[in-house]
Amino acid sequence: MDARLDYFANPLGAKFLKYINSAGHALGLSALPAATQELVKIRASQINGCGFCTDMHTKDAAHAGETQVRLNLVAAWREAKVFTPAERAALEVTEQGTRIADAAGGVDDAAWAEAARHYDTEQLAALVSLIALINAYNRINVIVQQPAGDYVPGQFA
């Protein structure tokens, strides 16, 4: 399978990616834990059906030391005992924030309050920004049908 458009080689696409990659870099430097960031990226990518991002972020998480059990259970995090309360709160906000079109009102007050119990305002800003960013990446890759499976950890570093 080939992508519909080589977005990475397209001059405008490459310029756009440069800017959103900068946003991603800033989020990587935030106080939101790196493991939580990867879980958020994986879960949003699963919901959006983005094979490229799911491949990338599961491999990056494993490369950073994430366990296979946790990676296997991200899609079923509610039933899994391997996630901390803070991670569960982040995953709930991720799901509600990713499924905005499916849920009247977006992220509900209970989910937000639970996240706010675990994260300070800087971390909450990073969480919201990360959810928005990964959803943008997912949409690009799904629209152009970017193939998945060939990603090597660190290839975009």
80 located within any domain = yes
Whether the full predicted model's pTM is greater than 0.85, yes or no, is yes
105 located within any domain = yes
Question: Where residue 46 sits, what CATH number does that domain have?
Answer: 1.20.1290.10
Q: Nearest 5 degrees, angle CA 121-CA 123-CA 129?
A: 100
6 located within any domain = no
**By residue range, what is the domain housing residue 58?**
11-144
Asked if 44 contacts 137 with a C-beta cutoff of 8 angstroms, the reply is no
155 located within any domain = no
Write down the pLDDT at residue 155.
87
Write down the pLDDT at residue 156.
83
121-144 vs 51-63: helix crossing angle, rounded to 10: 130
Nearest to 64 by CA among 83, 86, 93, 36: 36
Q: Which two tokens stand for residue 23?
A: 């946003």
149 located within any domain = no
18 located within any domain = yes
Write down the pLDDT at residue 105.
78
Write down the pLDDT at residue 1.
78
> What average pLDDT score do residues 26-32 get?
96
> What average pLDDT score do residues 142-152 get?
96
Q: How many separate domains does the chain show?
A: 1
Nearest to 3 by CA among 141, 123, 153: 141
Cβ burial of 148 (10 Å; 0-12, 13-18, 19+) is middle
82-141, pLDDT tens digit by residue? 999 999 999 999 999 999 988 777 999 999 999 999 999 999 999 999 999 999 999 999
53 located within any domain = yes
